Amino acid sequence: MPNHPVYTQDGKNFFAQGGWGNAVAQAKEGAKSTFNTRNINTNFKLIVNVLKDLKLNLQAGINHSNQDNTDIAKAVPLYKWDNSDIQYYTIANPDQASLTRTSYNSLYQNFTGYFQYSKKFNKHDIDIMGGASYEYNNYDWFSTSRDHFSTDEVWSINLGGTQNMTSSEKAEHWAIGSAFSRLSYVYNNKYLLEANMRYDGSSRFESDKRWGFFPGVSVAWRLSQENFMKNLSFFNDLKLRASYGQTGNQEGIGLYDYLQLINIGSRPNPYPFGAGSQTQSASLAGMVSTNRTWETLINKNVGIDASLLSNRLNFTFDYFIKTNKNLLVPVTYPSVLGATPPYSNSGELKTWGFETALGWKDKIGSVKYSVKLIMSDAQNKVVKYGGANTYVLGLNSLNSWPYPSPQEGYPLDTYYGYVFDGIIRDQKQLDDYKKLGGVPGSIGIGDAMFKDLNGDGKISLYGDKPGEKGDVANLGSLTPRYNFGINISVAYKNFDVSIFAQGVAERTIFRDGDYAMPWSAWWRQPPLFYFDKTWNADRPNAPYPELSFGSINNWNYQPSSLQKINAAYIRLKNLQVGYTFSTNLLKKLSVSKARIYFSGQDLWELHGVKGGWDPEASTSGFNYPFQRFYSGGIDITF
């Protein structure tokens, strides 16, 4: 820890208060571990001109990876500050010093082959492609470990004790096979058509659910090539586009989810069978579903591309709708089921939004300049979610642990919390608030109040009746809205300047985990924005509840509107200033080009996140310190 000394007053290794290890002692006195990795990556490609307009493309990629690791945990004594006693050992106690040997092998193979036919005649342009691909990955891993070493001078598995020795092994593989084709047709450079299809099969599914068919089609019309548009001289190019396509997704599916797996050795001690015989325990890994198959992503898109005024003004706009069919979700069943049910293809998610860009480039005298604005936005809604429609306090997400918890009719990553109703300022407020049910008995002046939204006389997550909501409210979604960027470049004679800024116009975050409260543990430093802003007798009008520890602290700083933060921001991501030297000067030095420059990254931002937090960082607080980068240099071409 940076606030702890490395050595005691007499120069011995300090034990690092709070249980933190002494990294310096470990680095200097610990045994040397070795991690050997060997990677061989190959890629072969062959193109054969079968006929005049017909090509055969063959490609093979084979990657092999091997690891051989020796990991040693040596005991190094750590002392109290006054050297009175050994407090504990770094990594391990002397009798628990251990050696772990691990080997790993992985082989990945990818084979692709396709024919491509291209032909142009008169006003027609045709391109036809069709082929197949196959991917295969095989992985195996072995590890063995022993402790209770008689010496720390020589490290060999055979020198360790046998009482706690372990060995484990793992092997797995997966494969994907695909057939695909594409047809492209252009008539007179005006009308464009492209149709494609994929037929994909994955080893992650049961044999009769393994294959999926995913077609797609797109069309475009270049209006600027029509006779009635050519008279409009301010249009250089104008194109309308529309597309529809399906793709398959198998993310979230385990390699062998369709098989009934068995856990070996899940019980700490083996079972005795017969005289002197012991057998490892075995148990079912969980319920299995053989009906799972591909999730289908359906994408619909319309767009326009335009170039105007001698290509000085460029504009593009796309509106899209994406639907996730057969979304893999956990289904909530009645508790009498007695087991954890498998995920199923029961969900449906709809996402819609736009992407647009507007650019202008021109020249005024000796000054060349360009400006480009980009913006995108996306919203989503859970259309269908099988089983009980429940929610949890805090973040409701498909990635929530241990159980995902999105709600039908609401966006992903919706945040539910209590509505903060101020701080208890006096005894009368305290007496009145304690009449509500669900309020901690230890609550006092300076603690938080939350609204009884459903008016049932208590503070609760749910109402008394099944499906009835309690006192939590939808506080918003973590999904950012209106992402934007600005690119500006200016050049004057030999000088050039470029600026890039980006940001989010609408974004909500909630501080969570240990950093949702000012004092989650005695050794954790409170976030800066809580300093001098928590209630006490000297600060009766402070905006945050009192500093406390334990259950009442969890009450005060549980998920609520108190943690809601407007995290919209704009940031200067990059600034570069350069100067290119005159070619007349460079010729004398036998240099064809030379440019000197200064560059800065993440130089400035404007946001409302409290305490100086980086608006792009994690909300849990476990982040590297934010950094700004400055660089300069010279580019020379001889």
Question: For the segment 34-84, what is each residue's pLDDT rounded down to a tens digit?
Answer: 999 999 999 999 999 999 999 999 999 999 999 999 999 888 888 888 877
For residues 306 and 531, which has the higher predicted lDDT (pLDDT)? 306
How is residue 183 written in tokens? 């047809």
Rounded to an integer, what distance in angstroms lies between the CA atom of residue 510 and that of residue 477?
10
Residue 270 has a pLDDT of: 66
For residues 2 and 411, which has the higher predicted lDDT (pLDDT)? 411
Cβ partners under 8 Å of residue 441, min gap 6: 434
Q: Examine the pLDDT at 271 and tell me if it is beyond 70.
A: no
Contact 609, 565 (CB under 8 A): yes
Of 365-374, 403-412, 500-509, 583-592, least confident by mean pLDDT is 583-592
Alpha-carbon torsion, ordered 39, 40, 41, 44, to 10 deg: 180
How many residues comprise the chain? 638
Rounded to an integer, what distance in angstroms lies between the CA atom of residue 54 and that of residue 126?
12
Residue 249 has a pLDDT of: 93
Residue 376 has a pLDDT of: 98
10 Å Cβ neighbour count for 411?
A: 19
**Mean of pLDDT values over 597-626:** 83
Q: Examine the pLDDT at 345 and tell me if it is beyond 90.
A: no
Cβ partners under 8 Å of residue 70, min gap 6: 33, 34, 35, 99, 100, 101, 155
Q: Examine the pLDDT at 521 and tell me if it is beyond 80.
A: no
Contact 174, 134 (CB under 8 A): no
Rounded to an integer, what distance in angstroms lies between the CA atom of residue 333 and that of residue 340?
9
**Mean of pLDDT values over 401-408:** 72
Q: Which of 89, 62, 67 is nearest to 78 (CA)?
A: 89
Rounded to an integer, what distance in angstroms lies between the CA atom of residue 442 and that of residue 446?
12
Contact 251, 310 (CB under 8 A): no
Using 50, 70 and 90 to split pLDDT, how confident is the model at 624?
confident
